[in-house]
Amino acid sequence: MDRTGELKRLILQSADPVVAPGVYDCISARIAERVGFRTCVITGNGLSGSVIGKPDLSLLSFGEILHEARNIASSVSIPVVADADTGYGDALNMIRTVQEMERAGVSGLFVEDQRFPKRCSYLPGAGNLVETDDFVRKVKAARWAAESADFVIIARTDALVHHSIDDAIDRGNRYGDAGADAIFVVGISNPDQLLKIRQDLTYPLMININEGEPLSDLRYSDLSEIGVDFVMYPNVVRGTVLKALDRTLGHLLRVGDTVGLDGDISVSTEFSDLMDIERYMELQEKFE
């Protein structure tokens, strides 16, 4: 089965939640694959920080995001899901976004019901949602644009953050009716909200969990019991890197060397192994 078919099978047919880390470059994606994750998600917030060092305020262009998505998807064999913001405009923009992402090797994407340009829902001033009917048309355009019937379209709604739980559920079901394979609801603040959404939502449910924020105390068994289908941990990679680099670079600055940090820093050969250097050396010898 190709990667796109595998992703759809994971989300629609898995008995337990599919867990995916949020990645933002080829290194984090390859590590996710190496440790055994079955899929990973490119996060817009992480990508914006990694590529241009700025917050997720639609400052990255579609071309820049597409370029990074293509590189990440080509660096691993597991299916990759991309954050495609709002589809970067109207229904026509959505069509091109889906087509280009699919050609880039991405197996699925999620798009949100904010106006373009969007703001990350957790940042101040966010919450400029489009009308439900307008986004329904964009979801239909996304479904129509996908060449493969297995290409996964995830419709994200920010309605719970700025409107109400009933609006989020209604939007989710309408987006599913329009062709979305799964519904991504953000802003869930407690397990009771999550349970109600799962009970009233007709379609597979995706959520995200950030450490130190609501839902972060839920264990995998809790998520499985509630019936969540797809769980993204968008901060686990960038948060780990942030802490580790603060610690090791702070040590190097204070002390002037890395003696005593052997257990915290991978050696060069480990990085070369991650990059599959032996395979490329064999190819080089083969054609010399």
Say if residue 177 is in the same domain as residue 281. Answer: no
Tens of pLDDT, residue by residue over 3-54, are 999 999 999 999 999 999 999 999 999 999 999 999 999 999 999 999 999 9
Say if residue 111 is in the same domain as residue 221. Answer: yes
pLDDT band at 162 (very low <50, low <70, confident <90, very high): confident
Residue 210: CATH number of its domain: 3.20.20.60
Alpha helices in the chain (DSSP H): 3-13, 26-35, 44-52, 62-75, 91-103, 132-145, 159-162, 165-177, 191-200, 220-226, 236-255, 268-274, 277-286
Say if residue 126 is in the same domain as residue 214. Answer: yes
Half-sphere exposure of 282 (CA within 13 A, CB side): 4
Query: How many Å apart are CA 96 and CA 111, to the nearest integer?
Result: 13
Say if residue 247 is in the same domain as residue 233. Answer: no
Give the pLDDT score at 128: 83
Say if residue 84 is in the same domain as residue 204. Answer: yes
Tens of pLDDT, residue by residue over 177-213, are 999 999 999 999 999 999 999 999 999 999 999 999 9
The count of domains in the chain is 2
Checking 275-283 for CB contacts under 8 A at 24+ apart, the result is: 275/30
Coil, helix or strand at residue 233: strand
pLDDT tops 70 at residue 121:
no
- Token pair in block for residue 235: 């901060």
Mean of the pLDDT values across residues 165-175?
A: 98
pLDDT tops 60 at residue 1:
no
**pTM of the predicted model, to two decimals?**
0.94
The single residue listed with the structure tokens 């009308």 is 131
Say if residue 121 is in the same domain as residue 247. Answer: no
The answer to whether residues 157 and 175 touch, using CB atoms and an 8 Å cutoff, is yes
Longest Cα pair distance anywhere in the chain, in angstroms? 65
Q: What backbone phi and psi angles, to 5 degrees, belong to 21?
A: -80, 150
Say if residue 86 is in the same domain as residue 192. Answer: yes
**Cα 214 to the center of its chain, rounded Å:** 18
Mean of the pLDDT values across residues 247-274?
A: 94
- Last residue within a domain, chosen from 237, 260, 276: 237
Residue percentage of the chain with pLDDT more than 90: 90
Say if residue 46 is in the same domain as residue 171. Answer: yes
Range of the domain at 269: 243-286
Mean of the pLDDT values across residues 74-79?
A: 98
